[in-house]
């Protein structure tokens, strides 16, 4: 039966190969500086590095001491210093100062800078300007991609979002292009590429250039399709509170590089524990995509099963006991440990999240998504600000309000902003400037009283006409158009209907049935239509910049029933959330395909907004 065959998920390629490649290159680079050396590592490279090469491996290659780059004077007695850094001007400046200080002190050392994932010309210019270009050697460690899990690949570049979308600095575009090129050269070419967004387009261009330069390989492709999407195409999704287990863990405890540190209150011991969260963790892999309201029940069932498994011991004879201890006990113990951790985590989650505050917060979010009772929402947000509940959450609600409503009325905009500044200080004037630049928090322009008119007209005519009117109005004002998009793509299911979160019927379950992530919906639609045809309206509201390209290996189109043809690579430029990943996993299950997510970094509402604060200078 073809049908059942369709349903089983295709095998994913082995991404650990990427780790091995990165490790080998790093070792090669370290060996370029023979002898004992001290290694300075950029703080944000520490965790990714740990996943590639641990301290033991580094020591094997004559790394003496490890330091974190702190942009302060150093104490190192080594004659060889090696710096493993991201290509940032600041860090390079700091290294130049070190070198110059050594020169003044008449100290001779050898310096080597390893930039990862690539060198930027600006950094070399700084070296040149500071007069140390000849004193240091530089290298590139092409560590583009860190596989966080079987289906999550991360560039680990959180700054991509701010640099690219706020500062208009396009340096990282080539990095993303090279990452795709790397995937392509290791895992074969792609048959089709879709994308939306300015940055996506540039990444594709840069990737294509690399393809043209490099040799063509006619290998059986391991991915069918690639989808590139800019974060600024969909800001709503990352601004929503996450309610899927993995997303919630990220929101609450912050998952860093696939690892979460659970504090003493969770572990119910006196120390915190670091836990790797990925598909290797059997307990976690079963609950990661579940709505958190289901998790507790699931875990208690699991605990019962575990107990039964332990209970098997009773009434065993010696022989059986021996077999039990050697075969099962270790697994059970492991499961036990993980289970207790996750129970601890979900307990503290429940404590925080079932409280009324959180319920109201969710209710407000859902009202905003639905465009329902906006006044009440504004009052709620006002109170939220006035009570100084949470700096980031308030900002998040403000942005959500602005995007879903196509900007705030001048009166509201000013009063909310003023209140926010009273609560959190005037420095947030800069934050607001940034938010406005990105279109996250805006004031409605005079022309946009259209929407007011629209809602008035809307009361007079039926639903269908409203839809048409909305479209017409939104195409007039080049704005976020969330409401119109939401109607056209049916992002918000009709309210009032019961939504059984245990048996999700669509991707909306990741937001308690209130909203289907726009980004994921776009992907679904485009894959279904095999292109953008029929979505012209939508793309116009998203400011265009969509593209679809058929890859070189069109000959393989004929035999596209292979597993590989059912694997879709989705690249998020500017970060993606765990909720989106869960939604895509759900979509994959529904469609009998698998999604591999490549992202510049894992993000969530807090990270997104923190990147736009300007209090660090």
Partner 1 sequence: MAFVTANWNPLGDAFYRKIELYEMGWNLKDGLRDCLVAAAPYGGPIGEFCFITLLRKIVSEYSFWKSGVVKQLGWTVSDDLLCVQEDGTVLVYDLLGGFKRHFSMGNEVSQSQVLETKIFHSPYGTGVAILTGALRFTLATNIDDIKLRRLPEVPGLQGAPSCWAVLTQDRQSKVLVANGSHLFVLDNTACTPVTPPGLSPQASSIVHMCVSFSYKYLALLTDSGHVWMGTSNLKEKLSEVDTKIKAPPKQMAWCRRPKSQQPSAVVMWDGLLLVVGECKETIQYHLDDDSILVPELDGVRIISGTHHELLQEVPGACEEIFKIASMAPGALLLEAHKEYEKESQKADEYLREIKEQSLLSEAVRQCVEAAGHEHEPETQKTLLRAASFGKCFLSNFPPEQFVSMCRDLRVLNAVRDYTVGIPLSHTQFKQMTIQVLIDRLVYRKLYPLAIEVCRYLKTPEYQGVSRVLKYWACYKVCVCVYLFTPLKKKNYILIIFVQPYCMPSCMLVYTVVMYLKNELNRGDFFMMLRNQPVALSLYKQFCKHQEQDTLKDLFNQDDDHEELGNFYVKASYKEQRLEARIAHLQSAVDEYYKAKNEFSAKTTEDEMRLLRFQRKLEEEKGEQLVGFSLHDTMTTLLSVGLHKHAEQLYKDFRVPDKRFWWLRLKALAEKEDWEELEKFSKSKKSPIGYLPFVEVCIKHHNKYEARKYVSKVTLEQKVKAHLAVGDVEGAAEAAIERRNESEIGTVLSRCSATTDHLLVERLNRAKATVAKK
Site residues for partner 1 per CB under 8 A: 89-90, 93, 121-122, 125-126, 163, 167-171, 173-174, 177, 201-202, 205-206, 209, 356, 382-383, 386-388, 414, 417-419, 421-427, 429-430, 433, 614-615, 617
CB 282 → partner 1: shortest distance, Å?
33
Residue 560: what are its φ and ψ, rounded to 5°? Answer: -85, 20
Helices (H), 477-593: 482-489, 518-529, 536-541, 578-591
Residue placing its CB nearer to partner 1 in the complex, 431 or 470: 431
Nearer to partner 1, 173 or 369 (CB): 173
Closest separation between CB of residue 262 and partner 1, Å? Answer: 26
Beta carbon nearer to partner 1, 16 or 388: 388
Q: Give the contacts of 465 (CB within 8 A, at least 6 positions apart).
A: none
- Least distance (Å) from partner 1 to the CB of residue 512? 16
Q: Is the peptide bond prior to 117 cis by the omega test (within 30 degrees of 0)?
A: yes
Q: What is the largest CA-CA distance in the chain?
A: 84
Q: How far is the CB of 259 from partner 1 (least distance, A)?
A: 31
Query: Residue 331: is it exposed, middle or buried by C-beta count within 10 angstroms (0-12/13-18/19+)?
Result: exposed
Residue matched to tokens 């001290």: 38
Nearest residue to 80 via CA among 59, 92, 64: 64
**Residue number, 286 or 382, with CB nearest to partner 1:** 382
Residue 525 exposure: Cα atoms within 13 Å on the Cβ side: 22
| N residues, the chain | 617
What's the closest the beta carbon of residue 601 comes to partner 1, in angstroms?
19
Residue nearer to partner 1 on the CB measure, 213 or 311: 213
Q: Which residues of 468-584 form beta strands (DSSP E)?
A: 546-550, 567-573
β-sheet with 146-149: strand ranges across = 146-149, 152-154, 594-599, 567-573, 223-230, 190-196, 546-550
Our CB check for partner 1 shows the closer of 257 and 391 to be 391
For the CA atoms of 79, 84, 87, 93, the dihedral, rounded to the nearest 10 degrees, stands at -30
Give the shortest CB-430-to-partner 1 separation in angstroms: 5
**Is the Cβ–Cβ distance between 117 and 175 less than 8 Å?**
yes
Distance CA 19, CA 42 (A): 19
Q: Least distance (Å) from partner 1 to the CB of residue 549?
A: 13
DSSP letters, 53-79, are: S-HHHHHHTTEEEEEE--SS------S
Of 61 and 171, which has the nearer Cβ to partner 1?
171
37: helix, coil or strand? strand
How near is the Cβ of 169 to partner 1 at its closest, in Å? 5
In the three-class reduction of DSSP (H, G, I as helix; E, B as strand; rest coil), residue 113 is classed as: strand
Decide whether 108 or 121 has the Cβ nearer to partner 1.
Answer: 121
**Separation of alpha carbons 561 and 380, rounded Å:** 52
CB of 383 to partner 1, least distance (A): 7
Three-state DSSP class for 115? strand
Q: Closest CB to partner 1 among 79 and 167?
A: 167
Which of 133, 324 has the CB closer to partner 1?
A: 133
Least Å distance between CB 109 and partner 1? 24
Give least dist CB 500 to partner 1, A.
Answer: 17
Report whether 178 contacts 145 (CB < 8 A): no
Nearer to partner 1, 382 or 537 (CB): 382
Q: Can you tell me whether residue 83 is helix, strand or coil? A: strand
Q: How far is the CB of 451 from partner 1 (least distance, A)?
A: 22
CA distance 492 to 237: 12
Nearest-approach distance from CB 32 to partner 1, in angstroms = 18
Q: Using the minimum distance from each CB to partner 1, give the nearer residue, 67 or 424.
A: 424
3-state class (DSSP) for residue 40: strand
What is the residue whose two structure tokens read 């079932």? Answer: 354
**Least distance CB 129 / partner 1 (angstroms):** 8
Closer Cβ to partner 1, 49 or 182, answer by number? 182
Distances (CA, A) of 41 to 48, 67, 357: 11, 6, 41
| Nearer to partner 1 (CB atom), residue 138 or residue 170 | 170
**Residue 314: C-alpha distances to residues 149, 187, 306, 307 (Å):** 38, 50, 14, 12
The tokens for 576 are: 């993606």
């Amino acid at each position: 039966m073809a049908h059942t065959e369709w349903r089983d998920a295709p095998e994913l390629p082995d991404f650990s190969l990427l780790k091995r490649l990165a490790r080998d290159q790093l070792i090669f680079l370290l060996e370029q500086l023979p002898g004992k050396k001290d290694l300075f590592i950029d703080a944000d490279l520490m965790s990714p590095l740990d996943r590639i090469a641990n301290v033991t491996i580094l020591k094997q290659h004559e790394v003496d001491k490890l330091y974190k780059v702190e942009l302060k004077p150093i104490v190192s007695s080594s004659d060889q210093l090696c710096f493993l850094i991201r290509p940032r001007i600041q860090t390079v400046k700091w290294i130049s100062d070190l070198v110059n200080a050594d020169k003044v002190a008449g100290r001779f050392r050898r310096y080597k800078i390893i930039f990862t994932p690539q060198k930027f010309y600006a950094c070399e210019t700084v070296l040149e300007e500071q007069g140390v270009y000849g004193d240091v050697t530089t290298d590139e460690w092409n560590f583009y991609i860190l596989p966080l899990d079987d289906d999550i690949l991360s560039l680990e570049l959180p700054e991509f979002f701010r640099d690219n979308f706020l500062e208009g600095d396009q340096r990282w575009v080539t990095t993303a292009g090279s990452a795709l090129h790397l995937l392509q050269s290791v895992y074969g070419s792609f048959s089709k590429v879709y994308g939306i967004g300015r940055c996506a387009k540039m990444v594709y261009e840069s990737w294509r250039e690399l393809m043209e330069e490099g040799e063509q390989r006619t290998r059986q492709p391991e991915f069918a399709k690639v989808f590139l999407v800019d974060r600024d195409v969909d800001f709503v999704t990352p601004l929503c509170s996450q309610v899927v287990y993995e997303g919630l863990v990220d929101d609450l405890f912050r998952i860093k590089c696939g690892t979460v540190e659970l504090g003493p209150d969770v572990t119910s011991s006196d120390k915190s524990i670091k836990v790797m969260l990925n598909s290797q963790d059997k307990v976690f892999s079963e609950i990661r995509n579940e709505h958190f309201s289901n998790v507790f029940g699931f875990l208690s069932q699991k605990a019962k099963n575990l107990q039964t498994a332990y209970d098997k011991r009773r009434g065993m004879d010696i022989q059986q006991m021996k077999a039990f201890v050697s075969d099962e006990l270790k697994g059970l113990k492991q499961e036990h440990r993980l289970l207790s951790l996750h129970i601890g985590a979900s307990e503290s989650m429940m404590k925080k999240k079932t409280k009324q505050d959180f319920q109201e917060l969710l209710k407000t979010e859902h009202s905003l998504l639905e465009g329902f009772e906006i006044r009440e929402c504004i009052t709620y947000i006002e109170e939220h600000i006035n009570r100084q509940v949470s700096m980031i959450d308030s900002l998040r609600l403000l942005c959500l309000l602005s995007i879903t409503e196509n900007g705030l009325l001048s009166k509201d905009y000013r009063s909310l902003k003023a209140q926010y500044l009273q609560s959190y200080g005037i420095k947030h004037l800069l934050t607001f400037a940034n938010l406005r630049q990105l279109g996250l928090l805006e004031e409605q322009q005079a022309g946009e009283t259209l929407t007011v008119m629209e809602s008035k007209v809307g009361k007079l005519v039926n639903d269908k006409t409203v839809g048409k009117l909305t479209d017409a109005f939104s195409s007039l004002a080049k704005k976020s158009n969330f409401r119109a998009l939401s109607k056209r793509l049916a992002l918000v299911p009709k309210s009032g209907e019961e939504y059984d979160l245990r048996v999700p019927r669509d991707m909306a379950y990741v937001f308690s049935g209130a909203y289907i992530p726009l980004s994921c919906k776009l992907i679904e639609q485009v894959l279904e239509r095999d292109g953008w045809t029929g979505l012209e309206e939508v793309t116009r509201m998203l400011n265009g910049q969509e593209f679809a390209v058929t890859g070189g290996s069109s000959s393989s189109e004929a035999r596209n029933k292979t597993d590989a043809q059912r694997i879709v690579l989705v690249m998020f430029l500017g970060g993606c959330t765990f909720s989106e990943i869960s939604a895509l996993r759900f979509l994959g299950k529904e469609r009998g395909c698998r999604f591999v997510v490549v992202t510049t970094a894992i993000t969530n509402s807090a990270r997104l907004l923190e990147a736009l604060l300007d209090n660090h200078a």
